[in-house]
Amino acid sequence: RKSLLFYHSGFWSNIVRLSHLFSTQTFRVQFRSALFAVIAESFSHITVSHLPAQHREWKSERDRLLNLAAGETEYRKMRVGFHKQLARFDNGDPSSAKITHWCVGVNCCQGLTQADRSNHCFIMLCKYFYFLFALGYAVPLTYRWKHAQPALRFCEEGCALHAILPRVMDRLSQGNPVNEKAQEAVRILE
């Protein structure tokens, strides 16, 4: 197992470093702000009468993500639940950089106006992406192989789902300011 982890130079050490960063409150707050900013920039809310024809392909891709998150532990079951809730509001292509909600009527999203429904959907996306990614993962230990699988799954999910993890990390490294919509989401979800 170790030979696989250390095959790519810097891969495992970066996974461990990221877990240490998540253990600090300051980093988690910055990560959350950057996460919400990436979602705000990528989000679109489209009202339709029927879901697009590609919806079945997107659903099977999302099912693959659910299989990544699945497991017997309480933590894994909780992650699957968050993925299922997220799928209600992120029903577009999970491999695309664009986070799209295809709204199929009044019962789909809460709100009286289009803007209210769009804002509700955005807030719910922020909430479930937060639960999935902004809390990080336990520090993996290679000598006992403890927490290694959850750390690898976290990174795989974060890369497979709208490439959200690399995009947030890129935004953090560039020090891009948070936009107004992301600040509103932080305020609402605190």
83 is written with which tokens? Answer: 């993925």
Tokens linked to 112: 């009286």
Handedness of CA 64, 65, 68, 71 (dihedral sign): negative
Question: What pLDDT sits at residue 110?
Answer: 87
Q: What does the block give as tokens for 3?
A: 């030979």
Does the predicted TM-score (pTM) go above 0.95?
A: no
pLDDT in tens, 37-66: 999 999 999 999 889 999 999 999 988 888
Q: Which of 138, 139, 141 is nearest to 2 (CA)?
A: 141
Per-residue pLDDT tens digits for 3-15? 555 555 678 888 9
Burial pattern 32-46, b for ≥16 Cβ within 10 A else e, equals bbbbbbbbbbbbebe
**Are 80 and 134 contacting, i.e. CB atoms less than 8 angstroms apart?**
no
Helix 180-189 to helix 114-129 angle (10° resolution) is 70
One-letter amino acid for residue 111 of the chain: G
Q: What's the rounded Cα separation, in Å, for the pair 142 and 5?
A: 9
- Rg over alpha carbons for the chain, rounded to the nearest Å, is 17
> What is the predicted pLDDT for the residue at 85?
94
